[in-house]
């Protein structure tokens, strides 16, 4: 139920890291632990929605399952404008 809040927080982290380059974001990897209290497919759905609205222009979410209560942004993939 709280996956949208988490997706928005992930978007905030991405925006903070990328600044003006946010529109070039093409991939976001998120590590989700088995006991993180997050439903992976629901989070994926929310991430798709969040990352298709400005300043983003449609980035692909990658959910990486792992153990424990890990919940973190692993990496961001950006396309350089050049």
Residues near another protein (CB under 8 A) are 1-2, 5-6, 9-10, 12-13, 17-18, 26, 30, 35-38, 69, 71-82
52 three-class SS: coil
What is the closest distance, in whole angstroms, from the C-beta atom of residue 71 to another protein in the complex?
5
Close Cβ partners of 1 (under 8 Å, ≥ 6 residues apart): none
Q: How far is the CB of 3 from another protein (least distance, A)?
A: 9
Looking at beta carbons only, is 20 or 80 nearer to another protein?
Answer: 80
Q: Which strand (E) or helix (H) includes residue 32?
A: strand 25-33
Rounded to the nearest angstrom, the gap between the alpha carbon of residue 65 and the centroid of all alpha carbons in its chain is: 14
Provide, rounded to whole angstroms, the least separation between the CB of residue 52 and another protein: 18
């Amino acid at each position: 139920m709280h996956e949208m809040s988490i997706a928005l927080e992930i978007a905030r982290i991405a925006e903070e890291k990328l600044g003006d380059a946010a529109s070039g974001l093409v991939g976001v990897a998120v590590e989700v632990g088995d006991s993180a209290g997050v439903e992976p497919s629901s989070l994926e759905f929310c991430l798709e929605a969040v990352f298709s609205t400005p300043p983003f222009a449609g980035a692909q979410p990658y959910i990486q399952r792992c153990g424990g209560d890990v919940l973190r942004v692993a990496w961001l993939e950006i396309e350089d404008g050049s």
